[in-house]
Amino acid sequence: MPEEINNNNPEVVVEENNPVEPKNEPSVQDLMNQIASLKRAVDKATGEASDYKKKWRETLSATEQASQEKAEAAAAEAERVKGLERQVALYGLEKQFSRLGYSPEDATKAAAYQYDGDTDSLFKLQEGIQKAREAKLREDIEKEIYKNIPDPKQGTGNAEEDPFIKGLRSVKSPYAR
């Protein structure tokens, strides 16, 4: 029996007569060769796709080519309009976040997060901003408090000698001669 299960310890015990063989992992050179061959395959497939597209376009009639080009132009225009709409929406959101006191960089990030619907990132950003505002507010309050505390006066404030010292000097020491 090559494997035994110990009831106290559920680990598998392997007999020493059957050593576990190490896995044959590919070398770095083998992996690099595989990557190179895959790149060549992708390049070949891309080239073939391009050739088929050219042949397909050559077989189309003039009206079909015109309608195909028109559809491609319309798709490109729709993509451009979508990008412009995003820019306008982001600009409006940035202005709103700026009015809330966000820095320009944070307003840009928050606007992008909100537009893209990335609420987790938006809340993390807002949390960081809130913590920074609270820390600044605490610092400002402490500065204001310390600014309004008067400096402690040293001595009695007049040219006379301190009453405590004066009292000590007036007491005659029993050891004085």
Q: How confident is the model at residue 177 (pLDDT cuts 50, 70, 90)?
A: low
Q: How confident is the model at residue 176 (pLDDT cuts 50, 70, 90)?
A: low
- pLDDT digit string (tens) for 138-164? 999 988 888 877 776 665 555 566 777
Can you give the pLDDT at residue 18?
53
pLDDT, position 24: 76
Backbone angles phi, psi at 48, to 5 degrees: -65, -40
pLDDT: which is higher, 160 or 67:
67
**Of the ranges 15-19, 41-45, 167-171, which one carries the lowest mean pLDDT score?**
15-19
Are the C-beta atoms of 22 and 15 separated by less than 8 Å? no
CA 5 to chain centre: 48
What would the mean pLDDT of 77-102 be, rounded to a whole number? 93
**Residue 158: what pLDDT?**
58
DSSP 55-73: HHHHHS-HHHHHHHHHHHH
As a whole number of angstroms, the distance between CA 43 and CA 78 comes to: 30
Task: State the alpha helices, DSSP H only, in the chain.
Answer: 28-59, 62-99, 104-116, 119-148, 163-170
Q: How many CB atoms lie within 10 A of CB 69?
A: 11
Average pLDDT score, the chain? 82
Distance (Å, rounded) from C-alpha 23 to C-alpha 93? 56
Pick 145 or 113 by higher pLDDT.
113
pLDDT number for residue 1: 47
Residue 171 pLDDT level (bands cut at 50, 70, 90): confident
pLDDT on residue 113: 94
φ and ψ of 131, to 5 deg:
-65, -40
DSSP state of 117: T
Q: Which of 30-34, 73-77, 125-129, 146-150 has the lowest mean pLDDT?
A: 146-150
